[in-house]
Structure 1
Amino acid sequence: MKPTHNPLAVYVHIPFCHVKCTYCAFNTYIGLDALVDSFVEALIEEIKYIGRVRPSQRVGTIFFGGGTPSVLTPAHYTRIFAALHDSFAFDGDAEISLEVNPADVSYGYLRALREIGFNRISIGMQSANAHELRLFNRRHDNDAVARAVSAARGAGFGNLNLDLMYGNPHQTMGDWENSLQAMLTLKPDHVSLYALTLEEGTPMQDWVEKGRVPEPDDDLAADMYDFATAQLGAAGYVQYEISNWAKAGHECAHNLQYWRNMPYLGLGPGAHGFANGVRYSVLLSPQRYIKTMMALDGNAALLDYPLTPVVDQVNVLTQKDEITDTLLMGLRLIGEGVPRQAFRERFGIDLLDLHGDLLRGFAARGLIAFDDERVKLTDQGRLLSNLVFRALV
């Protein structure tokens, strides 16, 4: 299959969960197991539709997120991969990632996924402390994480990420140190650390509002971030993005596509995409998604790329929009920042000609550093990144 376009990323959203985490505001559903087979059929139809609109696009990364992608069986993924290979041209070294819940996976399951074509796995550890996992309504314990990591390594995954959360209600620095140490003992190739955010409509947000749990302490969360940065650096991890660290060569290529504001397709209910100057999202309801994709008239005219019949919202971007997005995303990259030459080639203007006074002002305050090659946040700027980002909007 001959590639016809520049490489892009593909995100596939699997909206099913066995239980709902108390902090989660993603488009996920429990109690819909009976829809899984129909969902897979609809997803395959969506993949094929994109393949008809623009055949054989070159793909460098695919990321299956959720929800809980490990709800699907290897048989499901075999069929999904067949559709992807029929519709896209995979790079030879394409990064293909899957998020899993450590309570779901076994060596046999992971070995089957590795043979299908997955080569990167992200395990939702979140915490090593039982009281935090109970607060989150997570189904696993720390032993399950260790078993999942061992199974993944045995199955042949040489690129493994672990997620942790900090700034949680009731969390102490001792709790955080325990989680970090437990995580480091498992020797992941990549680490993602996320500060808890109180999302509208979640049980966690409701509990904080009603005083059932304390509001997260921002100052303590900042101390936890600083402590983790030092610990991970000492353990040989390089911080390449505000929330992400990796051993050399194990940076997440898929997420780099986002942070460089490069094109990616979003497939599945609630997925978001950006391609051809358009940001879009797929309708949320799995039932409507399935009904719409399975009722397609094969003779109907195809929509303009990257749209499909299940796209629910579309935002056509101006150049100003793309410039702002490129700056806000690129400044999250610690070493890379926003390369000035690439910015000039993409937008026809130099960053300092566009925002020179603002950037020089932030540089004088020690928040931004720039030279002939790039503009990036300083260590202090990372801690005050929202201040910088707001000024650039």
Structure 2
Amino acid sequence: MVGIHMAEALQVPYFRSFPMPMTRTRSFPHPFATPNHPKGRLYNDMTYVLFDHAVWRAIASRTNSFRRSTLGLPSTTYEKLEVWKIPYLYSFSPHIVPSPLDWLDWIHCTGYWFLDNPQTGWAPDAALKAFIEAPDSRPIVYIGFGSIIVSDPFEIIRVIVESVLLSNVRAIVSQGWSSRLHDKKQQEGANEATKKEAGAKKEGNQEEDILKKYPDTIFSVQSVPHDWLFPKIRAVVHHGGAGTTAAGLRAGRPTIIKPFFADQFFWGERVEEMGLGRCIKQLTVENLSAALRVVSTDENMLRVANQVGHKIRQETGVETAIQCIYRDLELAKARTMSSIQKTAKTNYVTSTSKKDGEDDQDWTLIEDAMSGSISPGSWKPAD
């Protein structure tokens, strides 16, 4: 959110990049406003208008204060920034989210940006290798929900264990979510620190105890590189973060997503729509075990996932992004200079009629919201 203002202060070209779509379109809703059921092109379009104006409304006052006091720039408005002209470099695969036809020419879907082998000193321990290579016909799945903080980590472990046992699979379980909760508990006030730490330790021991009850079926890890593990297993279960989703799809693995918030619902629905896996909104033994049986036995789903994975592995996302930067460099700088000129001109015209400290931001924002003018031309309902 700050980059655009710093670009104006430096008068340099400005690009934006994100691992999820944030540009207005009628093809699908804003990732933070994914409904339970499709609501149509009009709804999709409006989610971007509302989200952008809500965010600007929340940050406008502090942003303009930062511009004046730190960057030495006059106040601005959302419309004067000409956000719709900013070139975007979206770091996800066009095979997963094809570029909508209503995106402008400087909105690029480049393909994923993978950092291969980031943990160069990492090597699997003997126990993990033995678990993967064990002569067991049951397929192996990975289950991990990243750094999500949950209220009851023991309940999640219980659901996972029971679901795995019911599904005739083996599982490598990453417990990142519960350790984050324990860390949070241990940072509370000094008077409660001892009690909270003891409670976290007890809860942690309960989780380890239930996992260790089935050593031939469940293997617990704190973390493991996805690019190493995913190609060696049958399917992945996770929270639907953009990076984990990309890693699983690149490996050609059927995917189960249990979204918790934000864009995770968007990726979960995308995976299910493409026939690459399942999206389960409620984490229950019934839902998870049913999804595990599907991803571990459906050969057609595995075939489709492998085909998509092959396409993703052929992409050159980083190189494509670099080419797009060179192609749109002058356009990006022109937007920066146009925004500077509009802001300077407006402030010059209004400076003689405004009282000291008065800011026209609120009035401009209301006018913009009513007209929906955040892209070229007036907003119109879907056909």
What TM bracket, shorter-length normalisation?
under 0.3
TM-score in terms of structure 1 length: 0.25
Highest CA radius of gyration, 1 or 2? 2
TM-score in terms of structure 2 length: 0.25
Structure with more contact order per residue of length (Cα contacts < 8 Å, sep ≥ 6): 2
